[in-house]
Amino acid sequence: MVKVRSRLYFILLAGFFFTLLSPQLHTQEIPSIVPPAEFLQGGEEVLFPFLNLDVRQPQNGEEVALSVQLLLILGVLSLAPSIILLMTSFLRIAIVFDFVRRALSLQSVPPTQVLMGIALFLTIFIMWPTLDRVYTNAYEPMAREEIGVQEAYSRFESEMRVFMYRQMTNSPDSIRLFMRMSELPRPENLSQVPTHVLIPAFVLHEMTVSFKIGILLFIPFIIIDMVVSSVLMSMGMIMLPPVMISMPFKLILFVMVDGWTLLTQQLVASFL
């Protein structure tokens, strides 16, 4: 074993000294694998664009304003998914689905990604009429250069405001709350409610409605848990977890009544 190691060290040292002393390795040209900057394709020269980004001091106030606008636009784009999800039906659907999974005593079935995907496609289904009106009244005229960006944004905002206000028609308490906290006068119609007041009021309303639905969903499954726990205690099986026994009965009940169909139908009907 010692002889093998000594031979190995000798070979490594010999290779190292050979690399240092060999003049051919220092003078030999290594072929380049980087393609040239210009190459021909079909007999024509292909040019690559040159991109440059300069960071310098602004020359006037217009450049400062443009830089601030660019930063604000980038910030809004990064928060756009969260803003859009909070202004649609996604919040209510996602919370209700999570309540259903907890009521069934399931930890990771269905997975969170699956539930969020179902909630996203249900949101698209529910919001499709609103999105279609936005596309017809805002995007298409702006693409044809009939209206400007500001007018297109106003039309998009008006459609989203109408959707949010329709959900709070029967319970406008959240609007009154935020109007009172903003120290604004009592509005007489929708146009007098600012958007920065309407959005948090809508979010609060959606959370309240989703929790009410979750409580109603929990009631039958809590009854099953109580019955199973009482039976186990009467039989003297105190050490056996009641959740382990009640979960199959919950799943059987949920499948027998076609729970996913009923839940989806009622969720969609709650928005329409």
Q: Which tens digit of pLDDT belongs to each residue from 49-88?
A: 555 556 666 666 666 677 777 777 777 777 777 777 788 8
Average pLDDT over the chain, rounded to an integer: 77
Q: What percent of the chain has pLDDT over 90?
A: 8
Which carries the bigger pLDDT value, residue 109 or residue 262?
A: 262
Decide if pLDDT at 152 tops 70. yes
Of 10-14, 93-97, 186-190, 205-209, the poorest mean pLDDT is in 10-14
Decide if pLDDT at 171 tops 80. no
Decide if pLDDT at 48 tops 70. no
Q: What is the pLDDT of residue 7?
A: 52
Q: 0.75 exceeded by the pTM?
A: no
Q: What is the pLDDT of residue 51?
A: 53
Domain boundaries, the chain: 80-173+204-271
Q: What is the pLDDT of residue 93?
A: 92
Question: Which of the four pLDDT bands, split at 50, 70 and 90, describes residue 27?
Answer: very low
* 3 state SS of 101: helix
Mean pLDDT computed over 30-58: 51
- What is the Cα gyration radius of the chain? 33
Q: What is the pLDDT of residue 30?
A: 40
Calpha distance 125→89 (Å, rounded): 10
pLDDT digits (tens, 9 = 90+) for 90-123: 999 999 999 998 888 887 778 888 988 999 899 9
Calpha distance 79→177 (Å, rounded): 25
Decide if pLDDT at 226 tops 60. yes
Asked if residues 229 and 242 have their Cβ atoms less than 8 Å apart, the reply is yes
Fill in the amino acid letter for 225: D
Mean pLDDT computed over 212-237: 86
The listed range with the strongest mean pLDDT (72-76, 125-129, 222-226) is 125-129
Mean pLDDT computed over 227-248: 80
Q: What is the pLDDT of residue 234?
A: 81
Decide if pLDDT at 162 tops 50. yes
Q: What is the pLDDT of residue 96?
A: 92
Contacts of 193 (CB under 8 A, 6+ apart): 165, 175, 179, 187
Mean pLDDT computed over 220-226: 87
Mean pLDDT computed over 139-165: 85
| Range 250-254, long-range pairs (CB < 8 A, 24+ positions) | 250/103, 250/104, 250/105, 250/221, 250/224, 251/104, 253/220, 253/224, 254/104
Q: What percent of the chain has pLDDT over 70?
A: 76
pLDDT digits (tens, 9 = 90+) for 5-22: 445 444 444 444 444 444
Q: What is the pLDDT of residue 80?
A: 73
